[in-house]
Each structure stands twice: as structure tokens, then as C-alpha cells.
Amino acid sequence: MPIPAIKTATKDVIQRIGGHEAAASITRVGKSSLSDYGNRNSPLIVPVDVAIVLDCCAQHPIILAAMAHAEGYALVPIHFGEGHIPKDMAEFTDKASQAIQRGFEALEDRKVDVHEAHELVRCMGDVIRVAEHIRGSMGKIISENKPCLVDAPAAGAA
């Protein structure tokens, strides 16, 4: 079960927003419950309504993404399909390059440890996020049955 990943995500979000006291001030639960939600020795898991409030405060769906991943899904923002295609392609190239580099670094000693695996999962998540954004952009072009005009790169841009 991917419960440890949900607990880790919960701890990360609580830390991001300023700790248990700050999190308790914006949710319906207290510091003790919040502590239990991040504790791998506790059977309690953060309720979805609390996860939504925490993720909104953190300005990123960290807990909900872990929950989706536990069910074999990935979150895709509803605004996908909007944006600048060349910028998105450059970001995809950058994220994919980082993931490949981390993969080779992890393999240097001929074993992938837990820390390296976590880093690779994070990097691959970045690649998937950007790829889904590009897929959304392409889907919009297809569904509207019209091309997307792309500005030429600025002079001197690499």
C-alpha cells in the first residue's frame, strides 16, 4: 500500500505551510491529529477535506497527488492546454534531461538506494506533468480543429 507516500506528502505540506500550529489554524483538526496523519506508526490518514485545505494553502496538490498516485492516477490541472508551446517543449526537454541525469547518477555505484529512487520518482513526476501539459495543448488544437500560431523566438534567444 502507498500509505507511507501519503503520510510523507502530508508531512511535507504541513512543513511547507509553517508547521502543525499553522496547519491546525486553517483546518478542522488539531495539531495532534495532524501529527498522526504524517506519522507512519499511526493508522490515521489525512481526510480528503483536510488534504484539500492543506494543499490549497501550500499552493500545490501534493497530498492529493499522492492519493491519486496510490490509485494509479495522476492529477492534471484543468487549465492544461493553455500556454506557450515552445516554452513548454523547452521545459519538457529540461525536465527529461534532469531525470536522465539523475538516473545515470543513481546507477554510478550499480545500485539504486531509497533516496535515489525518491529523487527519480520526483524527477519523473516533473517530466510527466510537463508532458501532460503539452498533451493538453495538442488536444486543444485537435479538438478545435485549428492550428496554433506560435511566435518566433526572440532574437538572440537560445
- pLDDT tens sequence across 50-108: 999 999 999 989 999 999 988 888 776 665 555 688 888 999 999 999 999 999 999 99
User: Which pTM was predicted?
Assistant: 0.57
State the Cα angle at 31 between 28 and 34, rounded to 5°. 75
What's the pLDDT at 51?
97
Based on C-alpha coordinates, what's the Rg of the chain? 19
Class of domain 3-70: mainly alpha
| Angle of the 85-107 helix axis to the 114-144 helix axis, nearest 10 | 160
What's the pLDDT at 75?
77
Handedness of CA 59, 57, 43, 38 (dihedral sign): positive
Those residues with Cβ within 8 angstroms of residue 92's Cβ, 6 or more apart along the chain or in another chain: 127, 130, 131, 134
Domain boundary assignment for the chain: 3-70, 85-144
Neighbours of 17 (CB within 10 A): 19
